[in-house]
Amino acid sequence: MKNGLYKASFRTVVGQGTGVVVINDGLIKGGDSMMYYVGNFKEDANGAATGALHIGKHSDSPGMQSVFNTNDLNLNFSGTSTNTSATIHGFAEEAPTVPFDAQLTLIE
């Protein structure tokens, strides 16, 4: 994936949401109105991607809840990537029965 700013659309069985992430040389940093995300990923020449994120709460946001029903977690993911997007799937260690899906799309 190119370095840049990406829209992150994500979903679990608990809920869904959107945020933004910055990809920079294998590092991921981002967030939404309630949670922040920091981590890393690797991708191979065929577009297979794997990585890990720490997700934590930074603010109370009325009417919002974590899509994992917990506010501090570690997510492991895998998926496919192109130069400008990625589709990933994963599970948080703290919520192993809550599958996670996300789509990243380059903004700039």
pLDDT digits (tens, 9 = 90+) for 13-59: 999 999 999 999 999 999 999 999 999 999 999 999 999 999 999 99
**Enclosing domain of residue 82:** 4-106
The whole-angstrom separation of Cα 89 and Cα 22 is 18
Q: Averaged over 62-88, what is the pLDDT?
A: 93
Going by C-alpha positions, the residue among 54, 50, 22 that lies closest to residue 36 is 54
pLDDT (0 to 100) of residue 59: 94
The answer to whether 30 touches 57, Cβ cutoff 8 Å, is no
Stated as kind and residue range, the H or E segment containing 41 is strand 35-43
The answer to whether 75 touches 88, Cβ cutoff 8 Å, is no
pLDDT (0 to 100) of residue 49: 94
- What is the rounded average pLDDT for all residues in the chain? 95
pLDDT (0 to 100) of residue 36: 97
Domain count, the chain: 1
Whichever domain contains 94, its CATH number is: 2.40.128.380
pLDDT (0 to 100) of residue 89: 98
Query: Picking from 10-19, 59-68, 83-92, 93-102, which range would have the lowest pLDDT averaged per residue?
Result: 59-68
The answer to whether 52 touches 75, Cβ cutoff 8 Å, is yes
CA triple 50-88-59, angle to 5 deg: 100
